[in-house]
A and B are shown apart, each in its own frame.
Chain A
Amino acid sequence: MQKDHLSSRFDAEMNQVRARLLEMGGKVELMIANAMKSLVERDSALADRTIAFDAEINAMEIEIDERCVHILAMRQPAARDLRFVTLALKIVTDLERMGDQCVSIARHALILNREPQLKPYIDLPRMADAASRAVRDALDAFVTGDAVTAVRVCREDREIDILNEQLQRELLTFMMEDPQCAGRALSINSVSKFLERIADHATNIAEMVIFMVEGRDVRHTVL
């Protein structure tokens, strides 16, 4: 009786960690969308809001961290549960880093919005779509324990890398043509890099999902 009670409370704690983690994921997804919207639609107020929103993500990181450490210390989980808790600890870091990248994007948006638009944003929204899709799919894979989707996320990271390189080359030509626009080009370049990094973090999560589901470690391997 007592044991049942304990284990059900343990389950409840694990579920809470899961729910909070997903909620944090949702907030990060929103942040990515808002950061890109502030850039593409030149909405500086939204950029400011996005930067302020990061505080929530940071608070959630600390909260989930504490929950995980509490579980580790008080419940000493084993096997699958241990894997899940360590996974949660890692995912939370990745999500928090994504939030930071979004803040950086919003900061660059503030700078870029003060100057005339260098070029129509075509590749950046595409990259942002791909990156936020990667985050969404990675988290979906985490929810459903779907290794197939996770593997796809890892594979599709290449596309974002290619887009990033393509954009860099294009920006280089802009800068060579007109050194005046070098500052803006560099800002756009940074945004592209941040997006690429967000996608990398999503890939990290996907790799961990594969580990959680299939028990095979796919980090630093080609899928």
Chain B
Amino acid sequence: MKARFVAAQLLVVLLLGAVLYLYLNGTLERYRAAELAGQLRVDAGLARMVIVRDLNDLHRDAPRLAYRVGRETRARVTIIGPDGTVVGDSEVSAPGLATLDNHGSRPEVRAALATGQGSAVRYSETLKTDMLYVAVLFQNQAGVPGVLRLALPLASLEAAKAEFRGVLGGSLLLTALLLAALSFLLTRASSRSLHAVASIATRIGKGELGTRVPVEEGTGVGELARALNDMVLRTEEQLGRLSAEKNRLDTILSGMGEGIMVADPQGVITLVNPAFRALFELSDDVQGRQLIEISRHPGLHESFREVVSGSKERVEELQLRSSKEKTVLTHWVPLLEAGHLQGAVAVFHDISDIRQLEKVRRDFVANVSHELRTPVTVIKGYAETLLAGALESNPEQAARFVGIIYSHANRLASLIADLLTLSQLESGTIALEARSIRLAEVAERVCALLEQKSLQRKITVDIAGLAAAPAVLADLGRLEQVFFNLLDNAIKYTPSGGSVTLSAWEENGRVRIAVKDTGMGIPARDLPRIFERFYRVDSARSREEGGTGLGLAIVKHIVQLQGGTVSVESSGQGSTFYVTLPRGQENHQHNEVSSCRKTI
């Protein structure tokens, strides 16, 4: 840049010099030649006078006269006869004249013969230099015509020209050098500050926004620096605002439980949040990929197309099948910018749990009515038969019918009792009095209650594992119910000759109780739902055994109310139900109770 600037200046100077040289050189040459020619012409005029006076015989007097005139004028003087032969020459002695060729054809001689006067500049073979020739016609007193020619070498002109060239060239060179040095110094001074500004601007461009340009007052660069500083300051402010905005948005997006996805009109994903990744079980980066590559769910693409083509909002429920089935409520909004469609935003809300709950509630109502109707129908049917006359006609049968009615009334009663218990547990109206309880005591009492049943079925109940167990913190009555339900179940579903083993141990500061049977086990697909109300693996069998279908639901609710957890494991060789309860500690009894309540 700098070099080019200097070079351009030099070029201008040189060009100027060249034009000046060409013009002055030409003018000088012209003036000089004209001056010389004028002088020579004057000389020639004077010489003619001498020759006209003194030349009597062309051949006899000419050499002498030529010599004399030549000596005076310091020019080469040639006298030429009318036929063109040289008759006298100041530089050639008389005998040598014969060797000279005829001068009649020389342009200046021809001109002189024709008009009386002529001049020419020519390279002289004789003297090996540029010569100025001036020729005049004369006539001596005898009337013999001839041509007198004066010649001067142009060497003096050449010398003058050389001197002029020298002066001009020298001054030009000096000017050029001076200019180069000056402009170099000046541009270096200004470019140094420009450089400084440029390097700082580069650093700012790279993101070092804290950098400021030092301002030199009163210069153009100083103004530039000030403008740059202002610009950086504003950019910094704007960037700060933008990044704060982006951070806030990022935080909101990543904190949201709903999955969010933004896609452009071509279906390329431009933004997703962590919840979306979790919902679609994506591990790698999805931005910039096609929506179809993320999920092939047909409904998803239909919604997307509808939103993009119609630019209208859309709410839809989708069933996603990833590792487990999910119900997702999707809310599609077209992304409009200044009236132009920029894509679509979708919010995905996982409503599987809500749907599941709704289903449970629906099933519960259906189940309750079904469970209640069955015994009522039976009671009603047998009572009608009795009323129709069976009471009198067949007392033996009647007694059996009454027995059936009684057993179903019992079933109804226990069902209603269980439902009541459950609703109390759920509403939290049951007051639980938590205290330290030895598990072995509870188990013994429950075993006594179930002794007859287990003896009938030849099932051994082993509670030895509870003898050394730590105490638990629970409500005694409810814990008994938990044990009763679990043991009752275990005895019911264990074939005769099997065994039920109870054990308990401390785990992570809590007490874990295991009820293990050697029954038929529970199919894996039923395991997650086994604690649901009225959920039965084999409904016919369960009812046959006199179950209400609420036992395990009650167990779950009681345990959860006391801050515990329930779980189940099962294989072909039997099932194990686990109950985890807080460990009993006399001192912390009441605190534990309150904490139990909190976890509900």
Contact = CB atoms under 8 A, between A and B. Distances in A.
A25 interface: yes
Contact of A26 (B267, B290, B295): B295
Given A26-B296, A26-B298, A139-B296, A33 B290 contact: no
B464 interface: no
A97 to B, nearest CB: 18
Interface string B267-311: 100000000000000000000001011011110010000000000
B321 A26 contact: no
Nearest to B296: A26
A175 to B, nearest CB: 24
A137 interface: no
B292 A27 contact: no
Interface in A142-158: 143-144
Nearest to A15: B290
B267 A30 contact: no
Given A19-B267, A26-B297, A26-B301, A33 B321 contact: yes
Contacts, number: 31
Contact of B293 (A29, A30, A143): A143
Given A29-B321, A33-B321, A19 B296 contact: no
A122 B525 CA distance: 10
Contacts of A30: 297-298
B107 to A, nearest CB: 70
Contact of A25 (B267, B290, B296): B296
Interface in B514-565: 523
Interface string A30-44: 100100000000000
Given A29-B321, A33-B321, A22 B293 contact: yes
A23 B321 contact: no
A142 B293 CA distance: 10
Interface in A95-151: 122, 139, 143-144
Given A29-B321, A33-B321, A19 B298 contact: no
A25 B292 CA distance: 10
Contacts of A139: 296
Contacts of A25: 296
A2 B298 CA distance: 36
Contacts of B293: 22, 143-144
A1 B267 CA distance: 26
A30 B292 CA distance: 14
A122 B297 CA distance: 26
A22 B296 contact: yes
A143 B523 CA distance: 37
A51 B292 CA distance: 24
A23 B267 contact: no
A15 B296 CA distance: 15
Nearest to A34: B319
Interface of B: 267, 290, 292-293, 295-298, 301, 321, 523
Interface of A: 15, 18-19, 22-23, 25-27, 29-30, 33, 122, 139, 143-144
By Cβ-Cβ distance, the 8 closest A-B pairs, closest first, are A26-B296, A22-B292, A27-B298, A143-B293, A19-B292, A26-B298, A25-B296, A22-B296
24 contacts: A18-B290, A18-B292, A19-B267, A22-B292, A22-B293, A22-B296, A23-B292, A23-B296, A23-B298, A23-B301, A25-B296, A26-B292, A26-B295, A26-B296, A26-B297, A26-B298, A26-B301, A29-B296, A30-B297, A30-B298, A33-B321, A122-B523, A143-B293, A144-B293
